[in-house]
Amino acid sequence: MEGGFQKEDAEKLITAEMLNHIEKDMKSSSTRLLSFLALINSYVPDSHLLNLFCEEFISKTEQRLNEELPKLETIMKPFEDLTVTYSEGEQEDQYIRLAHPMIADACLKILTEHKLTRFDIALDFLNSMVKGKVINYGQICKNILITRQGKEQFSRLILDIMYERGNNRKQCIHLLELAANLFSTEPYYPQTLARFYYIKVKEDSKYEKAEEWAEEAIKRDPNNSCVRDTLGQVLKNQLLSETKKPSSDFEECLAIAKSAIDAFKKEEEAAENDPEDSTTFNYSGLLGFLQVCKIMNDTRFAKLYVRNKHIDFIKAVKGDIETKYDFFEWYLAFSKPRINKEEPVYIHRDVENCYKKYFKQREQTDEATLNEKKMKSFGGLLHFLKSDINVLKRYKSTFDNPQSDDETQTVLYILANIILNQSGDPCEKAEDLQARLQKLWLREMQDRSPEFYLLILLLFWADEALPGITNPPNLEKCLRGMHHSYKSKYQKYLRGRYLVPLFFFGKGKGLQRLVHASKLNQIDLELLTEGDERADVECLQRINGEVKKDKVFAVKDGQQIKLTPHNPSSVCKPGQVSFYLGFTIRGPVAFNIRYNKN
């Protein structure tokens, strides 16, 4: 069929005879089974019903004295041109579904034009097919009632029911409550109910009901951090609602805030223990905590304001605010959700705004408060490469004369000099910075930071060792230490995220050979991260290496240094290669791997 199967083709398959059958008896077994198939195949393409269960349904609905009950094929005869019956693999079980999702859409349209609603069909399906057989319908029900698409707040079916023939919030609640009772151990139905109450319901009692269902969800899966998050979100939104009232009551808001903070702290604890195979680390508890604290410091309460209690609250949360700010400082500096997806703007905004609210001194500006904080961390210093380098120059005295045996001070001092060099400003010579690192390296301390090892790689990965440095660090040993350090400090939190390349290896000498990612134009960045092996980035230097046993290595001074390929599929055969060298907080990465022609 030219152009493939179309919506019009599906509609033409529904004959006048089928329409007459539907109109004649909306409550017949055949029409109801058609409605079930239309619903699940429209919202979950390729889903099916077990023939055996359909026949059990028929036996309950077709009451015929002294007559043999008709088979499924007989009952569904009026719609046989719309359905497909099949078995999977070597199984003997037979299944039935509609032949195409567009046919399901067309049938659902016809049914809803004949006085049925999606709510009616879904309710009938849960009561007649799912009840008593929840183990067989778990995935279908989860897909149609729980699973969201894109940025939607609820499943497509729930949203369609809500806006079908008016605003049907009560119908959505009734359906989700029934599902929550049927799937009595499943946490996601009460969780969705809690979310539906606080997001969609208008009545004053909505937060009370939302909290009840959120608590029920936690009872069913107390160790799931994402399930726990809903209670915190309910309470946070209740707090926000209360503080917007002209007559906001301080004591009531303080009680809600404390409950919300407790919920988010428990979520954070659960996230720390989430299975390592979960896709990403759930930071919502940390962010929710900061958002609640910000709300409490933003509000000017109209009633029963007790200053000393507010001050006690501020003192109690201040330490945790700084700890959580520190988390997001490095988390957002070292990673992002995906290679082509940035972090939502509100995360940076809410984290920084909360910190400013609690740590700004009387004579300070908001900007000065943040800049002072950023000077104290590796991730914070990296920020100045993307903003105003003059701020770093003004604060340069902060880093002068670091204690030679203090790793943290030395690391920040060296990074500050690298950043100043990136902007063409005066800084300490590379060999002097190397000497500072070399002194620390020789002490062979335990539990060093990934940032320390990163600086070793950046400063000692040169074509020739700078004069004055004897016995430079062994880079293979450095990389082993870096991997161990990254695994213990960051791997849990950065799993499943794209690690941002912080620096690339350029063509200059000394510090000039380091090129921060922010100094590359967008085209060059795309060539590095998305381009093929033929891509050339003029300001970067290609490094020679080798691929063997599906791994890529750089060869330097007789050392074989294992790298992470940015595009694993480019490591396709043994051979000599060249590549651009980038550095993430986990270690060196080979970009645009190109096999040598000979």
In a shared domain, residues 434 and 295: no
* Tens of pLDDT, residues 110-120: 999 888 999 99
User: Do 547 and 573 form a contact (C-beta atoms < 8 A)?
Assistant: yes
Nearest to 392 by CA among 411, 415, 362: 415
In a shared domain, residues 538 and 458: no
DSSP-assigned letter for residue 183: S
In a shared domain, residues 362 and 280: yes
Instruction: Give the C-alpha separation, 123 to 125, whole Å.
Output: 5
- Grouping H, G, I as helix, E, B as strand and the rest as coil, residue 87 is coil
Instruction: Give the C-alpha separation, 396 to 427, whole Å.
Output: 10
HEC letters along 284-306: HHHHHHHHHHHHHHHCCCCECCC
Phi, psi at 6, each rounded to 5°:
-110, 165
User: What is the domain-level CATH number for residue 558?
Assistant: 2.40.50
Tokens of 471: 């016995």
Q: Which residue has the tokens 């909290």?
A: 211
Tokens of 347: 């995360």
- Would you mind telling me the total number of residues written for the chain in this entry? 598
User: Do 101 and 41 form a contact (C-beta atoms < 8 A)?
Assistant: yes
Angle at 451 between CA 419 and CA 592, to 5 degrees: 75
Whether 259 is in a domain gets the answer yes
Tokens of 554: 């750089």
Nearest to 527 by CA among 567, 569, 559: 567
**Number of other residues whose CB lies within 10 A of the CB of residue 266:** 17
In a shared domain, residues 368 and 403: no
**Number of other residues whose CB lies within 10 A of the CB of residue 66:** 4
How many domains does the chain divide into? Answer: 3
Nearest to 79 by CA among 52, 53, 41, 115: 41
Whether 591 is in a domain gets the answer yes
Whether 530 is in a domain gets the answer yes
The reported pLDDT for the residue numbered 1 is 47
Instruction: Give the C-alpha separation, 50 to 93, whole Å.
Output: 7
Nearest to 193 by CA among 172, 208, 219: 172
In a shared domain, residues 368 and 392: no
Whether 384 is in a domain gets the answer yes
Instruction: Going residue by residue through the chain, which has 598 residues, state the pLDDT in tens, using 9 for 90 and above.
Output: 456 778 888 888 888 888 888 888 888 899 999 999 999 999 999 899 999 999 889 888 876 555 677 888 888 998 888 999 988 777 778 999 998 999 999 999 999 988 899 999 999 999 999 999 999 999 999 999 999 998 899 999 999 999 987 788 999 999 999 999 999 999 999 999 999 999 999 988 899 999 999 999 999 999 999 999 999 999 999 999 999 888 888 999 999 999 999 999 999 999 999 887 778 999 999 999 999 999 998 878 767 778 899 899 999 999 999 999 999 999 999 999 999 899 999 999 999 999 999 999 888 898 889 989 999 999 999 988 877 777 787 777 777 777 777 889 999 999 999 998 888 888 888 888 998 999 889 887 778 999 999 999 999 986 555 666 777 888 899 999 999 999 999 999 999 999 999 999 998 888 889 999 888 888 888 888 887 777 788 889 999 999 998 899 998 777 789 999 999 988 889 999 999 999 999 999 999 999 988 6
Question: What one-letter code names the amino acid at 194?
Answer: A
Question: What one-letter code names the amino acid at 394?
Answer: R
Domain stops at, among 374, 398, 433: 374
| Burial of 69 (C-beta count, 10 Å sphere; 0-12/13-18/19+) | middle
In a shared domain, residues 401 and 416: yes
The reported pLDDT for the residue numbered 257 is 96
In a shared domain, residues 510 and 479: no
Instruction: Give the C-alpha separation, 419 to 424, whole Å.
Output: 9
Domain stops at, among 339, 358, 374: 374
Whether 462 is in a domain gets the answer yes
In a shared domain, residues 364 and 393: no
User: Do 587 and 486 form a contact (C-beta atoms < 8 A)?
Assistant: yes
Whether 282 is in a domain gets the answer yes
In a shared domain, residues 368 and 484: no
The reported pLDDT for the residue numbered 597 is 82
Nearest to 266 by CA among 227, 236, 312, 217: 227
In a shared domain, residues 345 and 361: yes
Instruction: Give the C-alpha separation, 392 to 398, whole Å.
Output: 9
Tell me which residue range forms the domain holding 537: 503-595
In a shared domain, residues 384 and 365: no
Whether 17 is in a domain gets the answer no
Domain stops at, among 330, 357, 374: 374
Angle at 375 between CA 370 and CA 378, to 5 degrees: 115
In a shared domain, residues 311 and 398: no
The reported pLDDT for the residue numbered 70 is 80
DSSP 37-81: HHHHHHHSTT--EEHHHHHHHHHHH---TTSPPPPHHHHTGGGTT
Tokens of 156: 């497509």
Paired sense of beta strands 587-595 and 559-565, if any:
parallel
Whether 548 is in a domain gets the answer yes
Nearest to 45 by CA among 84, 122, 85, 101: 101
Q: What contacts 305, CB < 8 A, 6 or more positions away?
A: 250
Nearest to 47 by CA among 127, 123, 147, 161: 147
Instruction: Give the C-alpha separation, 111 to 163, whole Å.
Output: 17
